[in-house]
């Protein structure tokens, strides 16, 4: 099995036994062994082949790779690695012709919401991305997760990623034929910056209501944004930069109300997009990417998008995914280069939302491919206190690699493409966990949300209500827990406890097990707290049990967090646990 599934594969009878033994399946070691050919492998240049395109043939004469570029050779050796992993040094006769359906196959990791991974942690992720044939990687930066040279004061008192780290990661990606694309907001999602005394005057606000949006009419804002990009872009070789611009909730309000009334919101947005694009093109020769949600339906204004700018067409839940087809069509009709950007559905869900994830990844790929999308960018957000652990990102990451490379048969109205999902699970078990069966636990845990009474956009209900105080019952905009039946949450607890019992004796990777157990117990705690909110009563015995559970979660969360991440952000992540502990003791 080659994963992602190639375009064409055929196997014959017989096997070729390697003449040169090497006893490794490490991708970079194999690339070093085979990149110039050897006694076993012959390289051929096929000038008609595009980027990443290759043909891998194994016959009685040996191994032959035909490719047009170095990256094509690397992808072929990546496939060969799987043959070696499964067959040892006796490779089956086969012919594999392959090329990606999306030129850009990206993964975006949120490092801004509490959890900031260490360099070595990110490198391990990059290794996995390269093994799955991704060729783009973005680190989403919304807050002070990075040492900005022009703003050293914002995070002088704690450790996080530095410019030197970024250059190291950039080279690490380049060695694996991955483009590390800088990702920095400059319109919406600026609340953390605007909360600082020295920057608050740059925000769209009436003094009470904070929109988290920059006031783009101020010359000082332009200067600030230039310094922001001057702090980031010199450390990346990529020709692209993601400038954000999504969810700019201050557009049309307060300081921007009058100009938006005169010109229209879309025109004001497009002018800022053009201004930032011009600055970046002039100073760094880079092309901008931007989240296109602010102009999804404004196709009459698409002509204002700067030439070459790449629109990032995102949608994560059922309705947004369904609308993506129409939005892709608008972009295609107006010759706007664009990506489709599904999400892994792990954030604000403790253990993920599996069936929604598979629908989102599959449908986004089909819409994008049918409308000529240039890229496929799988997003892994970290909303909330970022308590979901990376183990829950793994199957989506593998499945996204499949859809970014090969979307499979054309959608026929009922084809769910379950073989792709099963192949992604098998890949995770075989290549990430050395054959240990982890993915079926991940699947069970990621279906827990189906037992909840309500569906919530970009979240599951129990984790969403976790931020409420114990005397609060209203989940803003969605539901009132006072009207719910404890029955649902009791089912959640019973279901999770059965999985936890099975995990206790499971012979699987210890780190993965601990991450799953921790997030499952987070989930159990959240469901128990929802029952208290419904009943507005709790026994002293139950309080003692929940306080003990909170103490265990906090300690285990601290241990697992510090193993792979900077300490900064941990206290924020634990803060809700501490608050709930105090509330429970007060009730007692």
Packing angle between helix 70-87 and helix 119-131, nearest 10 degrees? 90
Domain boundary, last residue among 50, 65, 98: 98
The whole-angstrom separation of Cα 407 and Cα 84 is 25
The whole-angstrom separation of Cα 374 and Cα 376 is 7
| Side-chain-side CA neighbours of residue 153 (13 Å) | 5
pLDDT at 412: 73
User: Of 144, 170, 16, 160, whose CA–CA distance to 80 is shortest?
Assistant: 16
pLDDT at 254: 98
pLDDT at 415: 76
The residue segments making up the domain with residue 60 are 8-98
The whole-angstrom separation of Cα 193 and Cα 198 is 9
* Three-class DSSP category at 473: coil
**Residue 489: partners with Cβ closer than 8 Å, 6 or more residues away:** 452, 462, 527, 528, 530, 531, 534
Q: Among the residues of 54-180, which ranges form H helices? A: 70-87, 119-131, 163-174
pLDDT at 404: 98
Residue with tokens 């991974």: 117
Domain-embedded: residue 114: no
| Side-chain-side CA neighbours of residue 305 (13 Å) | 26
Q: What is the pTM of this model?
A: 0.98
**Burial (0-12, 13-18, 19+ Cβ within 10 Å), 36:** exposed
Phi, psi angles (nearest 5°) of residue 452: -75, 155
**Burial (0-12, 13-18, 19+ Cβ within 10 Å), 92:** middle
User: Of 560, 579, 583, 561, whose CA–CA distance to 570 is shortest?
Assistant: 561
Residue 270: asked if its preceding bond is cis (omega within 30°), the reply is no
Q: Any idea what the CATH number is for the domain that residue 86 is in? A: 3.30.379.10
Q: What tens digit of pLDDT does each residue of 379-433 get?
A: 999 987 899 999 999 999 999 999 999 999 877 777 789 999 999 999 999 999 9
Domain-embedded: residue 32: yes
Quick one: CA dihedral 109, 115, 118, 120, positive or negative? negative
Q: How far is CA 147 from CA 111, 124, 166, 243, 286, in A?
A: 13, 22, 10, 18, 22
Average pLDDT, the chain: 96
The whole-angstrom separation of Cα 267 and Cα 247 is 16
pLDDT at 532: 97
Q: What tens digit of pLDDT does each residue of 32-60 get?
A: 999 999 999 999 999 999 999 999 999 99
Domain-embedded: residue 251: no
User: 566 near 118, Cβ under 8 Å?
Assistant: yes
Quick one: CA dihedral 152, 156, 159, 164, positive or negative? positive
Domain-embedded: residue 367: no
| Side-chain-side CA neighbours of residue 541 (13 Å) | 0
Residue with tokens 């956009």: 457
**Burial (0-12, 13-18, 19+ Cβ within 10 Å), 465:** buried
Domain-embedded: residue 143: no
Pairing of strands 240-242, 287-291: parallel
**Burial (0-12, 13-18, 19+ Cβ within 10 Å), 467:** middle
pLDDT at 457: 87
Domain-embedded: residue 176: no
The whole-angstrom separation of Cα 204 and Cα 260 is 13
Q: How far is CA 539 from CA 473, 487, 535, 544, 581, in A?
A: 19, 18, 11, 9, 15
Per the structure, the count of domains in the chain is 2
* The pair of three-digit structure tokens given for residue 198, joined into one six-digit string: 């020295």
Domain boundary, last residue among 38, 72, 98: 98
Domain boundary, last residue among 98, 127, 160: 98
User: What letter would DSSP give residue 499?
Assistant: H
User: Of 330, 379, 367, whose CA–CA distance to 111 is shortest?
Assistant: 379
Domain-embedded: residue 556: yes
The whole-angstrom separation of Cα 112 and Cα 140 is 7
- Quickly list DSSP for 410-466: PP-SS---HHHHHHHHHHIIIIISTT---HHHHHHHTTGGGGSS-EETTEEHHHHHT
* Three-class DSSP category at 478: coil
User: 458 near 246, Cβ under 8 Å?
Assistant: no
Q: Kindly give the parts of the chain with pLDDT less than 70.
A: none
Domain-embedded: residue 225: no
């Amino acid at each position: 099995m080659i994963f992602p599934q190639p375009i064409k594969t055929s196997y014959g009878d017989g096997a070729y036994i390697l003449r040169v033994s090497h006893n490794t399946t490490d991708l970079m070691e194999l690339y070093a062994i085979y990149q110039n050919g050897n006694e076993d492998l012959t390289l051929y240049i096929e000038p008609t082949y595009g980027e990443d395109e290759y043909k891998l043939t194994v016959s009685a004469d040996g191994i032959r790779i035909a490719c047009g570029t170095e990256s094509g050779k690397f992808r072929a050796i990546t496939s060969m690695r799987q043959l070696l992993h499964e067959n040892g040094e006796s490779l089956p006769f086969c012919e594999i012709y392959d090329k990606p359906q999306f030129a850009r196959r990206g993964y975006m990791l949120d490092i801004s919401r509490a959890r900031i991974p260490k360099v070595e942690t990110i490198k391990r992720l990059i290794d996995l991305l390269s093994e799955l044939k991704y060729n783009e990687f973005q680190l989403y930066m919304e807050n002070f997760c990075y040492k900005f040279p022009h703003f050293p004061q914002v995070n002088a008192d704690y450790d996080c990623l530095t410019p030197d780290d970024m250059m190291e990661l950039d080279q690490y990606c380049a060695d694996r034929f991955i483009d590390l694309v800088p990702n920095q907001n400059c319109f919406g999602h600026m609340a953390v910056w605007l909360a600082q005394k020295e920057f608050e005057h740059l925000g769209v606000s009436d003094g009470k209501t904070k929109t988290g949006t920059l006031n783009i009419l101020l010359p000082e804002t332009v200067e600030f944004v230039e310094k922001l990009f001057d702090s980031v872009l010199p450390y990346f070789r990529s020709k692209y930069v993601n400038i954000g611009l999504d969810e700019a909730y201050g557009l049309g309000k307060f300081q921007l109300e009058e100009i938006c009334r005169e010109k229209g919101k879309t025109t004001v947005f497009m002018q800022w997009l053009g201004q930032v694009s011009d600055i970046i093109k002039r100073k760094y020769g880079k092309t901008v990417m931007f989240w296109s949600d602010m102009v999804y339906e404004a196709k009459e204004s698409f002509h204002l998008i700067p030439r070459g700018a790449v629109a990032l067409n995102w949608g994560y839940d059922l309705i947004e995914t369904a609308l993506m087809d129409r939005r892709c069509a608008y972009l295609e009709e107006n010759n706007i280069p664009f990506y489709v950007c599904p999400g892994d559905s792990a954030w604000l869900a403790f253990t993920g939302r599996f069936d929604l994830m598979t629908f989102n990844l599959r449908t986004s790929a089909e819409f994008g491919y049918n409308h000529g999308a240039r890229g496929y960018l799988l997003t892994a957000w970290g909303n909330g206190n970022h308590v979901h652990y990376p183990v829950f990102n793994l199957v989506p990451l593998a499945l996204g690699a499949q859809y970014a490379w090969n979307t499979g048969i054309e959608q026929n109205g009922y084809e769910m493409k379950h073989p792709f999902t099963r192949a992604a699970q098998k890949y995770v078990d075989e290549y990430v966990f050395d054959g240990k069966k982890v993915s079926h636990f991940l699947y069970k845990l990621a279906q827990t949300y189906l037992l909840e009474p309500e569906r919530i956009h970009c979240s599951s209900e129990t984790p969403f209500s976790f931020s409420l105080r114990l005397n609060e019952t209203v989940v803003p905009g969605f539901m009132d827990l006072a009207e719910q039946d404890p029955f649902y949450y009791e089912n959640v607890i019973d279901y999770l406890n059965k999985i936890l019992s099975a995990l206790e004796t499971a012979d699987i990777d210890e780190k993965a097990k601990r991450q799953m157990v921790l997030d499952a117990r987070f989930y159990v705690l959240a469901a128990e707290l929802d029952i208290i909110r419904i009943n507005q009563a709790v026994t002293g015995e139950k309080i003692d049990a929940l306080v003990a559970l909170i103490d265990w979660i906090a300690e285990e969360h601290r241990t697992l967090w510090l193993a792979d991440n900077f300490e900064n952000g941990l206290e924020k992540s634990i803060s809700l646990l501490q608050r709930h502990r105090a509330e429970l003791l007060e009730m007692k």
